[in-house]
Structures are given as structure tokens and as C-alpha cells.
């Protein structure tokens, strides 16, 4: 089966596909970082949601007081959900875009702006920066995804 | 590297793959629309969640009253989360299904019913339509995804 | 177009890709199961969120009392959201990893541990098991995804 393996390797050797693989992985790692930040705030703020998570603080009322919401925890969670809502479309549409025969420089422009916009969005959410920083970074990532979707539909449309 | 590019273009030239690309992009654009509808209701209902989003309404108590939940905003957000829960499986399983050598008419039937069901689900959630409209549209999309998963496992199973 | 079809079939014939297809489908079916468990608890606990969902219980106050949150329903929903946060990165990074020319036994090891960890995570969340069962299963799935991301970036990096 080495012939088939070679063909798969050719896919990952294509520069547009390699660029997609790189930026998709970076933005997914950034999204995964939100889980660690949530855990960090849950532990430092002592704000948990599952009773079994507070068992180490003792039993009964002494542990129950740590079952609470915390403004910082909720902020990170909103940023995480916003990532899911926006990175899932990028993953799907971006993969199809990378297979649509776009030229390398245009593809790199799309991928770089999207990932830059999402990193900015996270910083704007967590610091937090005054609006319209978060709103604008969201719009930029959204517009890049729409632009890729347009190219995919123009190339592949089969209804 | 034009030889590799040609191979990628062949992938997007395959009709089943093009159908997947088309319907996956459409249903992702539909999901992205939920963000705009949420923003529309947040602004018209003046119901925000982040203090920095209400800064333009003034300082202190006058702005704080806009940090509140709104029934319409929450309804759109539930529809958006339901999209994520159902469209993510469609994206992954559908991609593998499109690579599993299904015939074109069967594949189109799956993709069209899924996208139709999800558009119906959104309309049923937002209007809202009386049950079982939303429930049935959810079941139909779910069943289509299970049917594609069966085909993928039958073709590709390697444990 | 039978020539192109053959090429697509070659992709699904590759053993690493077939292993990815199998485990990705299994873990997505597991995630989809969370929707059914949520529905089961909503119906048996009579805990709904949309007014139209309680219409069959009668009108006015008699139905309104079923618009409430239930601890078991919320627990399943948290497990479902945690699945989304962790399975989306696995889907994207795992697909790229499967195309990165990893050898079969290493790839199988990654896929099997990830899927095992996520099934354990769900059991730990729903039973629930005492900590650190849920925490450890989460860490294992997270670490497997990081390991695959490292391989993807090492193979494909194109910034």
C-alpha cells in the first residue's frame, strides 16, 4: 500500500493544504487553551459547578459554598463558546476552500487574517479591551469565512 | 507542483464531493446567520452580557440595567447551540461519507434532507412553530447523520 | 468520472485514513447520544425550556411549572458541551494527522486512547464517578490531541 501512502503524502505536500493544516491546527490549539484558562479560574476563584469537584474541600456546607458562578469563569466560557461558533465554520469551509484550487498567496491571506482576528478576539474578551475591539475582531473573522465560502460555492456548486 | 494541484482539483471535481462541499457550506452559512440574529436581538432588545458592551449607554446604573437576559436572545442562542451539536457530526461524518464511494443520487438525497431539516429546525425554533415541528425536524437531521455513519463504518471499518 | 472515483476510493482504502474514519465516526455517534440522553431526562424529569414544549401538559400555570432546570439535565448538557469543546479539535487535527503520513500502529494508538478517554469522560460525568476520574480522562484526551497537533505541525508547517 505504499502507492496509496504516497498519494496521501502528496496532499499534505501541497502548499495551500499545508497552510490550511498549519493555521487550522494553530487556531484549534488556541481554542483548546480556553479549557485550561477556564480550569485555572475555576481553581483560583474556587468556583465549581459539579458537587464531585468540590469534594476535596470537605463535606456538606463547607464544600457547597464553592458551587457558584464566577464572573471571570463565565467570561472565559463565553469566549470559548464564541470560538466554537466561529472556528467550526472556518474548519469546514476552510478545508473545502483549501481544496478549491485557490492560489497560495490569497489562501495565506485568508488563513492569516482569520487566525489573527480570533487571537485578537480572545485577547479583547479576556483582558477585556473596550468595544469595538471584540466586535471588530469578530466581524473580520466572520468576513474572511464568508469570502472563503463564496470561493467554495463558485468552484464546487452542485445542488 | 502543478501535478499535485491537479490531484487536489480532481477531488473538488468529483460530483459527490462537490455536493458535500455545497451543502456543508450552505448549512454552515445558515449556522453563522444565528450569530447575526443574536446580535440583532441583543441590540434591539438592549440585552447584553458583557459590561464593556453597554459602555455606550452611559456609566454606572444607567448602563447596568442593560446587562440582562432576554427571552428572544436566549431562544436564538439555544437554536445556535443545537446547530453546533448537530452540524458538527454532519460535517465530520458527511465528509467521510462523501469519500466512501456512495453513488451521487443517494448522497444528494442525504445532503438535501439534512440541510432542509436544519433550516426547518431553525424556522421552527425562531417563529416558533408548535411542536412537534421542531422535534421532527431535529429527528430527521439526526436520522440522516446516523444513515451516513452506517455507510462510513460499513465501508471503512478498521478498529 | 470513474477514474476520479477510484482515487477517492483509494483515500478511504488507506489504513490510517480508515482508522481515522472509524474512530471519528464512533466518537461523533457517542457525542450524538448526549442529545438523546438530554431528551430522556427532559421528558422523565419534566424539565423543559421552551413554552411550546410543554403545551401537551395543558395551558397556563399547569404547563408553566415544567419550564424549569433540572440537575440531571444540566449535567448531561455540560457533558455534551465538553464533548463539543474536545471532539471538534480531535476531528480537525485528527484528519490532518491522518494525512500526515503517520505509521498505522502509532495512529491507532492515538485514536483508540482518545475515543476511550472520551467514553470514560462521559461515564465519569453521568454516573458520576468521584474525581479525579473525569479530570484525568479529560487530560488524556487533551494530551492525545496535542500529540497529534505536534505531528501535524512538524510535517506540514507552512506559515
Would you state the pLDDT for residue B55?
87
- Looking at the DSSP bridge assignments, the partners of residue A67 are A48
Question: Which regions of chain A are under pLDDT 50?
Answer: 1-6
Residue B9 lies in a domain: no
User: Residue C60: is its pLDDT beyond 60?
Assistant: yes
Q: State how many domains chain B has.
A: 1
Would you state the pLDDT for residue C1?
39
Q: Name the closest residue on chain B to residue A104, using Cα atoms.
A: B5
- The answer to whether residue A43 neighbours chain B at the CB level (below 8 Å) is no
Residue A57 lies in a domain: no
Residue C118 lies in a domain: yes
Average pLDDT, chain B: 92
- The answer to whether residue C84 neighbours chain B at the CB level (below 8 Å) is yes
DSSP chain C: -HHHHHHHHHHHHSHHHHHHHHHHHHHHHHHHHHHHHHHHHHHHTT-BSSGGGGGGG-STHHHHTTB---HHHHHHHHHHHHHHHHHHHHHHHHHHHHTTT--HHHHHHHHHHHHHHHHHHHHHHHTTPPTTHHHHHHHHHHHHHHHHHHHHHHHH---
Residue among B89, B99, B131 minimizing CB distance to C8: B99
Residue C57 lies in a domain: no
Q: Which chains touch C (3 or more CB pairs under 8 A)?
A: A, B
Would you state the pLDDT for residue C125?
97
Would you call B128 and C52 a contact, using CB atoms and an 8 Å cutoff? yes
Average pLDDT, chain A: 92
Would you state the pLDDT for residue C2?
43
pTM of the model: 0.94
pLDDT band for position C4 (cuts 50, 70, 90): very low
Residue among C5, C18, C28 minimizing CB distance to B14: C5
Residue A47 lies in a domain: no
Work out the minimum CA distance from A50 to partner chain B, whole angstroms. 21
Would you call B131 and C52 a contact, using CB atoms and an 8 Å cutoff? yes
Q: Name the closest residue on chain A to residue B20, using Cα atoms.
A: A158
Q: Looking at residue A135, which CATH number applies to its domain?
A: 1.20.120.550
- The answer to whether residue B58 neighbours chain C at the CB level (below 8 Å) is no
Range of the domain at A138: 15-42+70-157
Residue C63 lies in a domain: no
**Is residue C25 within 8 Å of C98, Cβ to Cβ?**
no
User: Residue B2: is its pLDDT beyond 80?
Assistant: no
The ipTM is: 0.92
Residue C143 lies in a domain: yes
Percent pLDDT > 70 in chain A is: 92
Residue C37 lies in a domain: yes
- The answer to whether residue B71 neighbours chain A at the CB level (below 8 Å) is no
Would you call A130 and B7 a contact, using CB atoms and an 8 Å cutoff? no
- The answer to whether residue C19 neighbours chain B at the CB level (below 8 Å) is yes
Residue among C99, C131, C159 minimizing CB distance to A22: C159
Amino acid at each position: 500500500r505504499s502507492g496509496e501512502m504516497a498519494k496521501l503524502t502528496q496532499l499534505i505536500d501541497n502548499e495551500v493544504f499545508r497552510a490550511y493544516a498549519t493555521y487550522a491546527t494553530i487556531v484549534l490549539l488556541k481554542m483548546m487553551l480556553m479549557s485550561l484558562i477556564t480550569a485555572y479560574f475555576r481553581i483560583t476563584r474556587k468556583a465549581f459547578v459539579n458537587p464531585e469537584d468540590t469534594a476535596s474541600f470537605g463535606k456538606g456546607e463547607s464544600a457547597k459554598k464553592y458551587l457558584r458562578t464566577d464572573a471571570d469563569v463565565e467570561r472565559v466560557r463565553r469566549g470559548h463558546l464564541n470560538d466554537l461558533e466561529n472556528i467550526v465554520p472556518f474548519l469546514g469551509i476552510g478545508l473545502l476552500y483549501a481544496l478549491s484550487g485557490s492560489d497560495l498567496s490569497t489562501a495565506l491571506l485568508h488563513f492569516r487574517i482569520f487566525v489573527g482576528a480570533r487571537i485578537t478576539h480572545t485577547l479583547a474578551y479576556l483582558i477585556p479591551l473596550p468595544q469595538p475591539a471584540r466586535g471588530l475582531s469578530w466581524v473580520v473573522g466572520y468576513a474572511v469565512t464568508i469570502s472563503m465560502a463564496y470561493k467554495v460555492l463558485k468552484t464546487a456548486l452542485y445542488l
